[in-house]
Amino acid sequence: MRGLSGDFSTMPLKDLVAYLGSRRVTGTLRVTRAGVRKLILLREGQVRSASSNQTREYLGQFLIHMGHLNAEQFAQAHAQQSEANVPLGQILVLLGWVSEQTVRGTLQLKFRETLLDMFRWEEGEFSFDAGAVPEIEGVEAGVDLMDIHREGEFRETAWQALRAAFPSGSAYLEVDESRLMQTPRPGTLDATLVERAREGLSIDELVKTLHTSDFLVYQRLYALYRQEAIRVVNTPPPGRVRPAASPTLEEEVKNLEVSMVGDEPHALELIQAAQSHLENGDFWEGEALARRAHEQSPSPETEALLNSASAALLGLLRRRMLDTPQVPSLRVTAAQLKTTPLTTPERYLLSRIDGKRDVRSILGMSPLGELDALKYIQSFVDTGLVQLKAR
């Protein structure tokens, strides 16, 4: 295939993706629009790399929003990446902070979002040059162009449902905390959405300040809407003060590079915080802090604390889901699950949820540890993907 170029007014990206995907091409796709630049490397009809000058499409941003990484960890990994000239994903795996499966799954999400974001563009230019592309360093991932095309078609329908729930981006959101089954974990996209909605940001302002794709914001809002944890209101809350935009990853890195050493909690502080949460019955946060303390400074004390916290959290989850047999069932369609950002273990567990098997049966066929599997199932319930019903 020779070079191909044009603009989206004559050939929308979804048509270009179908054209290139059906021919299983290898080459480089470049796209530009109003200062936005994207570079896509294709090999035999699969996206093998996708880069952009938009902060919201950086791998680190996706990992932070999905709760796999915090800003401090990103800053440290970014510093090591700059020194070693090694891809971020590989650094994170080597540090043991993020598994290779999680990096691969997040890269696939990044590839999809980088392209799907452009499916709604009515303006822009593209050029495709056929030919060999460089080998990918670090964790390898790929997404088939035809899968992206099919997902784009699904999203056209999904946007209709999202717009029915949220007719205008200028609308505001009212949070009903009593409907939140559990407070979202700090640092995740859900937690940030709830926090900013309480501050009085409109939906458009949420999209602008969170540095993530429109679809992911609306998708997570829809999950909260289905829980009746948020509702749409047309007037801003009384005394609303427009908050400053969230810092970009680059800004976070600069801030952290200055204050990281002084602000990074010592293991003793983490231990004390974990003990406090455990004493107050917050086993979920207590276990997370104990795990962080042990990872930061392994010792017999942190190991004993982590074992104690894990046992307390496991006991809590067993009482919720095993003492009285609970049958999980999906609250979303298979098509909706396809576009939900999930790790490989999460997808595995969700594939075993059929509305007939109880939690104990699912644990019996899962290669995951009991605590990890129960934590995943609880997170499915918290985010509205799954509901539990006593047998």
Q: Would the pLDDT of 230 be above 70?
A: yes
User: Average pLDDT, stretch 322-327?
Assistant: 93
Going by pLDDT thresholds of 50, 70 and 90, the confidence category of residue 175 is confident
d(CA 121, CA 32): 11
- pLDDT tens track for 114-154: 999 899 888 899 999 999 888 887 888 999 999 999 988 88
**Residue 129, beta-bridge partner list:** 28
d(CA 332, CA 225): 13
Q: Would the pLDDT of 19 be above 90?
A: yes
**What is the CB neighbour count within 10 angstroms for residue 369?**
12
**Residue 386, beta-bridge partner list:** 330
Q: Would the pLDDT of 181 be above 90?
A: no
Residue 377's pLDDT is 92
Q: Would the pLDDT of 299 be above 60?
A: yes
Phi, psi of 46 (to 5 degrees): -115, 140
Q: Would the pLDDT of 4 be above 80?
A: yes
Phi, psi of 333 (to 5 degrees): -80, 165
d(CA 362, CA 376): 12
- pLDDT tens track for 247-280: 544 444 444 433 333 334 455 666 877 787 788 7
- Straight-line distance from the first to the last Cα atom of the chain, in angstroms, rounded to the nearest whole number: 59
The helix/strand/coil state of 82 is helix
Q: Which of 280, 283, 271 is nearest to 378 (CA)?
A: 283
User: What does 238-252 look like in DSSP terms, one character per residue?
Assistant: TT---PPPPPPHHHH
User: Average pLDDT, stretch 231-255?
Assistant: 59
Structure tokens at 336: 């909706």
Sheet strands (E) in the chain: 4-7, 27-33, 36-43, 46-52, 125-130, 143-144, 172-175, 230-233, 326-330, 386-390
